[in-house]
Amino acid sequence: MRLSGKVAIITGGAGGIGKETALLFAREGAKVVVQDMNAEGAKAVAGEIGKAGGEAIAVTGDVTKRAECERIVGEAVSKFGRLDILINNAGINKDSMVKKMTEEQWDAVLSVNLKGTFLMCQAALAPMSQAKYGRIVNTASIGALGNIGQANYSASKAGVIGLTCTLALEFARSGIAVNAVSPGATETQMTAGIPAEIKKGIEDRIPAKRFAKPSEIANAHLFLASDDASYVTGQTLFVDGGISVGI
């Protein structure tokens, strides 16, 4: 098992990529804090882990609020005695063409995706710095490279990549690695509403000709959270079926 004895917080763990990551980390021996705004969903995932013989708690909270992020980290440390891994997976999109994008759409997406990632990192870095050990994986997106109708989302995810680089530099000497995973289109609630013909058009543009399964993103989280990646920091791993390369 690659995460034996490790304690991991996974934000946005109630569904999609976060849920798959929580289940995988538990199978790999981690004690998992399933964090989400969706209390029922987080409880269900923690329950599933428990039934399978793993250890998990559900912690509800909104990552856009500093006090909530500190409470989430506090609950993890008080329940399990330490914090080794933070997967900043919580994210939203509110798509609109730039001409029509409202200030509310901009603020909401930047707030969850970028500010929430920053606040969770800040809160987690306190116990990690003390322990001189930590693995943080942030969630970017191929959207960081630009996508029509997603100015807010693109900006938030490009921001996550920059934040990841700076955190890596500031904390490398403290034994803390900070990396990002940049998924391509993935089969989750976030993409479930894409009309079939538009989805087909996206699939045609992906070299692998299909969306990712959430488990394929979870596998990248596992690599970067494990000691297999002990000398990897400040990197963004694109898990996208090849769409971000080529001409």
Ligand X SMILES: NC(=O)c1ccc[n+]([C@@H]2O[C@H](COP(=O)([O-])OP(=O)(O)OC[C@H]3O[C@@H](n4cnc5c(N)ncnc54)[C@H](O)[C@@H]3O)[C@@H](O)[C@H]2O)c1
Instruction: Please tell me whether residue 190 binds ligand X under the rule CB under 6 A.
Output: yes
Rounded CA gap, 241 and 218, in Å?
A: 15
Q: Which is nearer to ligand X, 63 or 133 (CB)?
A: 63
> Among this protein's residues, is 153 annotated catalytic?
yes
* Near ligand X by CB under 6 A: residue from 21, 150, 154, 186: 186
| Catalytic pick among 25, 80, 153, 211 | 153
Question: Of the candidates 68, 87, 77, which has an alpha carbon nearest to the alpha carbon of residue 164?
Answer: 87
Of 36-44, 47-55, 74-82, 162-170, which part binds ligand X (CB under 6 A)? 36-44
Looking at beta carbons only, is 127 or 184 nearer to ligand X?
184
Which of 63, 83, 151, 155 lies at the binding interface for ligand X (CB under 6 A)? 63
Instruction: Dig out the tokens for 229 from the structure.
Output: 């990646």
Find the binder of ligand X among 6, 7, 8, 15 (CB under 6 A): 15
Residues 166-185 that bind ligand X (CB under 6 A): 183, 185
Q: Does 139 bind ligand X (CB under 6 A)?
A: yes
Concatenating the DSSP letter of every residue in 134-185 gives EEEEEE--GGGG--TTBHHHHHHHHHHHHHHHHHHHHHGGGTEEEEEEEE-S
C-beta separation of 199 from 155 below 8 A: no
Report the residue from 11, 21, 154, 164 that binds ligand X according to the rule CB under 6 A: 11
| Closest among 39, 40, 45, 44 to 19, alpha carbons compared | 45
Inter-residue contact 98 to 21 (CB < 8 Å): no
Q: Least distance to ligand X from the beta carbon of 173, Å?
A: 28
Min dist CB 217 to ligand X, Å, is 7
DSSP 32: E
241 binds ligand X (CB under 6 A): no
CA quadruple 35, 39, 44, 50: dihedral sign: positive
Distances in Å between the Cα of 203 and the Cα atoms of 189, 193, 195, 213 are 17, 15, 12, 13
Positions that interact with ligand X (CB under 6 A): 11-12, 14-18, 36-38, 41, 62-64, 89-92, 112, 116, 139, 141, 183, 185-186, 188-191
Looking at the annotation, which residues are catalytic? 153
